[in-house]
Amino acid sequence: MSQGCRRRGWGVSAERYSGFVFDPGELAEDVELDVARRREILFVDANLSTFTHWQLLDLPWNAPAEAARAAYLEKVKIFHPDRYSGKRLGSYRSRLERVFRKLTEARDTLGDEARRAEYARRTAAPEEFARIEARKLEDERRSEERRARLGRTNPLVAKAGRVRELVKRGKQAFEDGSFAQAATDLQMALSLDPRNAEITSLLADARRKAAALRAADHYDHGVSAEVLGRPQKALACFKAALEADPGNLRAGAAAVRVALELGDVAEARARAETVVRANPSAAVAHEALAIVLEAEGQKKEARRELERAVDLDPRLDSAKERLKKLRWSFLG
């Protein structure tokens, strides 16, 4: 690499500076530097903002860290202001300092393997970028293969591989919205690796989501049964929805309503209480309970529930309306 450096060093100026126009004024400044050095300093200083770190160090793109460090040591010998101690430098002093700072920045970036890789990605030409990405994919595929090979020979690794596979599948299912499938996969993974906290929490999530989905399904069935004039069937559906997901408000409210319509006050009361327990801070839940209580003739309790509902959600107009009526009936 040091040979490459010399070849493209500042000695071969004709090629290096081709296309660069020197300002005669700057070149003629009264300083104690020979012309070759002036040209090199002016050239590099002018290109500081466009050069990549590697260009600054006269290295090919993505050259390794050791090469960058070696090139830095050579470059600072040209650009460190101490090299010209006691000499008249004029405007060249600040140029040297600027270049030196930039060289140091290059060294700091390229000397660290992680930062160098990151910098390489940022400065890569499109085809280089594609190559890096391809290599990354290739690396991933290889390590996958390696794991599979290990899995075939080592039972422990095989188990770990199985767990990994199940979790991966479970996560995929979760993302696709098949929560029941995800829960099944994760349940199996957990049975292989019972103390895995990540799987435990993933499984809980999947189960919750699966239940909610089932509840929504039952609710939809219930709604269509009601529309088709089969309130008994509808009530059963809503109850099933509540069983799957006690927090499903819509199903709760619908169950209460249908039960009351069917004249089954006890059933309505039981559903309303379930809903309030599952959603103590949902205004609608309290409203539903109030409706049941009113139907049972317990006006005082009904009024309390309505007040709580309005308290929780002041914009719940149906509850306000009902409350107003209840108050009137008291007066009357």
Partner 1 sequence: MSDHEPVVGIDLGTTNSVVATVRDGVPRVIPNRAGQLLTPSIVAVAKNGKRLVGALAKRQAITNAEGTVYAAKRLIGRRWGSKEIEDARRVLPYALVPGPEGIDVRVQLGGRTLSIPEVSAMVLAELKADAEAWFGRPVRKAVVTVPAYFNDGQRQSTKDAGLIAGLEVMRIINEPTSAALAYGFGKAIEKKVVVFDLGGGTFDISILDIGRSVYDVVAVGGDTYLGGEDFDRRVMDWLTFTFAKENGGIDLRQDKMALQRLKDSSEKAKCELSGAQAASIHLPFLVGGADGKGALHLDKQLAREKLEELTKDLVDRCIAVTERTLKDAGVRPNQVGEVILVGGMTRMPRVQRAVRDFFGKEPCKGVHPDEVVALGAAIQAHALGAPQGKGEEVLLLDVTPQNLGLMVVGGYFATVIPKNTTVPTSQTHLFTTVQDDQTQVRIAVLQGESERAIDNELLGEFILDGIRPARRGEVSIEVTFDISADGIVGVSARDADTGLEQSITVTATSGLTEEELRRILDEQRDDLLERKQGEREFGERRERALAVVREIEELVPAVQGALERTRFGKDAIQKAESVLARVRAAVAAQDSAALGVEEESLDRTLQLFKGLAATGRPPGR
User: Minimum Å distance from CB 91 to partner 1?
Assistant: 17
User: Minimum Å distance from CB 25 to partner 1?
Assistant: 21
Asked if residue 292 lies in contact with residue 285, where contact means CB atoms within 8 angstroms, the answer is no
Residues 9-68 that bind partner 1 (CB under 8 A): none
Of 7 and 136, nearer to partner 1 (C-beta) is 7
HSE-CB for 1 with a 13 A CA cutoff:
18
User: Minimum Å distance from CB 28 to partner 1?
Assistant: 20
User: Minimum Å distance from CB 92 to partner 1?
Assistant: 14
User: Which of these ranges, 44-52, 73-81, 159-167, 239-247, lies near partner 1 under the rule CB under 8 A?
Assistant: 73-81
C-alpha to C-alpha distance for 71 and 304, rounded to whole angstroms: 83
Residue environment code for 265-289, b if the CB has 16+ CB neighbours within 10 A, otherwise e:
eebbbbbbbbbbebbeebbbbbbbb
User: Which of these ranges, 70-78, 193-201, 264-272, 315-323, lies near partner 1 under the rule CB under 8 A?
Assistant: 70-78
Residues 6 or more apart whose Cβ sits within 8 Å of residue 29: 38, 90, 91, 92
Residues 102-161 that bind partner 1 (CB under 8 A): 104
**Residues near partner 1 (CB under 8 A), total:** 18
Quick one: which of 86, 126, 155, 263 contacts partner 1 (CB under 8 A)?
86
User: Minimum Å distance from CB 16 to partner 1?
Assistant: 19
What number of residues does the chain have? 332
Residues 6 or more apart whose Cβ sits within 8 Å of residue 220: none
Asked if residue 199 lies in contact with residue 188, where contact means CB atoms within 8 angstroms, the answer is no
Q: Pseudo-torsion of CA 104, 109, 110, 112, nearest 10°?
A: 120
User: Minimum Å distance from CB 77 to partner 1?
Assistant: 6
73 forms part of the interface with partner 1 (CB under 8 A): yes
77 forms part of the interface with partner 1 (CB under 8 A): yes
| Residue ranges that bind partner 1, judged by CB under 8 A | 69-70, 73-74, 76-77, 80-87, 97, 100-101, 104
